[in-house]
Amino acid sequence: MKAVGYLRSLPVDDERSLFDFETDVPRPEGRDLLVLVEAISVNPLDAVQRMRKESADGTPVVLGWDVAGIVSAVGSDVRFFAVGDHVFLSGDLRRPGGNAEYLLADERVVAAKPASLSFAEAAALPLTAITAWGALFDRLRVPVGPAPSDDRILLIGAAGGVGSIAVQLLKARTALEVVATASRPESRDWLAKLGADVVLDHSQPLMPQFARAGISSVRYAFPLSHTLQHWPTITGLLAPEGEVVVVDNPVGIDATALRAKAGALHFEMMWIKLLAGGERLLAIRQLLQEVAELVDAGRIRPTANADFGTICAENLRRAHRAIESGKTIGKITLSGFGR
């Protein structure tokens, strides 16, 4: 089968940073599905892993943790799926990823593709949905339901993949007022279209903007990146007993700044259910199913916003370059292998 991989961590402008190669089609065993990859999406995680993890045995490393495709074969213990089913998934960081024609995945981390979406649109959702869901509903435990709420949540740098789905999950499942920030006009327009109640510019001082918007405090805060840079603003605006969740690695953060407000700091790591293993894997399948239902009900729109063509090394290098620029809006997708 065709695949895209690398051996050493190299700058993305180097052609060896990602290259095309051929390898054997894997065989599914146990609860594994063999998925024919129809589309993938590229995340910051891909770029991070490319520069962090090198081949240990001369076998190319295959990235890619956002996939939509068709079940091609099943292991002997598979219960939920059959050959021909259309699925979407995020896969497993410990296994070869979806930058290949075929991917093996445990059925417990796979869900039926939203019927209303194309494969490319569906591929843009899994990793960001798992991350946003975990941050909002597992770590912050924001209240779910239509009951009126005076609470607010602040999302800083929300125009990327995780922020784009987080805004929509909040509007679809909670009554919180969603305050989101982005630095560029086109990014702020994107957030407004996704349903954010208040959209601000974090390239300018935020506290005066909060004051002009009549915002004195927020119950929850979810910085999507550059947490350390925005920490004084977050802690200054946080309400008593407020809570913060982070997904980046803010080395040197002063958590004692929350002490005066009896605040709480949480860390979300989207692979935690995979690492826990066992039946905890089913929580991934369940949340992806719920996201698919929200999509098909018209309550969440696809976040795919840039089509980079077919899956090949050249196009994936372009996608990684765009991700590394930090200026993407929504998600980048690629489709097929020229089949």
Output the CA–CA distances (angstroms, integers) from residue 35 to 42, 163, 316, in the order listed: 18, 28, 20
Question: pLDDT-derived band of residue 172, with 50, 70 and 90 as boundaries?
Answer: very high
How far apart are alpha carbons 51 and 37 in whole angstroms? 24
Domains of the chain: which residue ranges? 2-125+278-335, 129-267
Question: pLDDT-derived band of residue 279, with 50, 70 and 90 as boundaries?
Answer: confident
Question: pLDDT-derived band of residue 274, with 50, 70 and 90 as boundaries?
Answer: confident
- Provide mean pLDDT across the span 287-299: 98
Q: What is the pLDDT of residue 147?
A: 66
Q: What is the pLDDT of residue 77?
A: 98
pLDDT tens track for 46-102: 999 999 999 999 999 999 999 999 999 999 999 999 999 999 999 898 999 999 999
- Provide mean pLDDT across the span 98-107: 97
Q: What is the pLDDT of residue 275?
A: 84
- Provide mean pLDDT across the span 158-168: 95
pLDDT at residue 45 greater than cutoff 70: yes
Specify which of 140-144, 145-149, 325-329 reaches the highest per-range mean pLDDT: 140-144
Enter the pTM of the model. 0.94
CATH 3.90.180.10 fits 2-125+278-335, yes or no: yes
CATH class of the domain whose range is 129-267: alpha beta
pLDDT at residue 326 greater than cutoff 90: no
